Amino acid sequence: MLGIDTNILVRFLVRDDEAQFEKARRLIRREVAAGRRVFVSQLVLLETEWVLRSRYGMQKAEIAAAISGLLDATDIQFENEPAIEEALFNWKDSAAGFADCLIAAQNKRLGCSATATFDVKAAKLPGFVTA
């Protein structure tokens, strides 16, 4: 299995640089053709969300759709996919950021009873308590 970084994933998603998009696409195809999946860590996913929002001005719905599409792909493996799915579900109706949603979901799966925060928006999410 080959891990990819944020640059590869962003180029693949936004296709703003045709040469880099083609390289990313070929890299993914090569791995799949060899019977291997491509790995996306939570760090890469968080950074990708931030880049899509801050650099490309994508809206929450667009980003959520892109992440959901990646989750549906059988040739991509995510670090703790159930936590990502839960985070997406909570994020869609929340004023909190995707990172906060993923932190809560990940901590819950790691056995935390709650996650303490000073963030007013995050505190409204399931799994957070105000510090």
Q: Which residue has the tokens 């909570």?
A: 90
Domain spans, the chain: 2-79, 95-131
Tokens representing 36? 């291997």
Burial class of residue 78 (count of CB atoms within 10 Å of its CB; 0-12, 13-18, 19+): buried
> Helices in 1-131 by DSSP H: which ranges?
6-14, 18-33, 42-54, 60-72, 81-92, 98-109, 120-123
Reported pTM: 0.89
Burial class of residue 59 (count of CB atoms within 10 Å of its CB; 0-12, 13-18, 19+): exposed
Per-residue pLDDT tens over the stretch 56-113: 999 999 999 999 999 999 899 999 999 999 999 999 988 999 999 999 999 999 999 9
What does pLDDT average to over the chain? Answer: 94
Percentage of the residues of the chain whose pLDDT score is greater than 90: 85
- State mean pLDDT over 17-43: 94
Contact 45, 98 (CB under 8 A): no
pLDDT bin (cut points 50, 70, 90) of residue 131 is: confident
Nearest-angstrom CA–CA distance, 55 and 72: 25
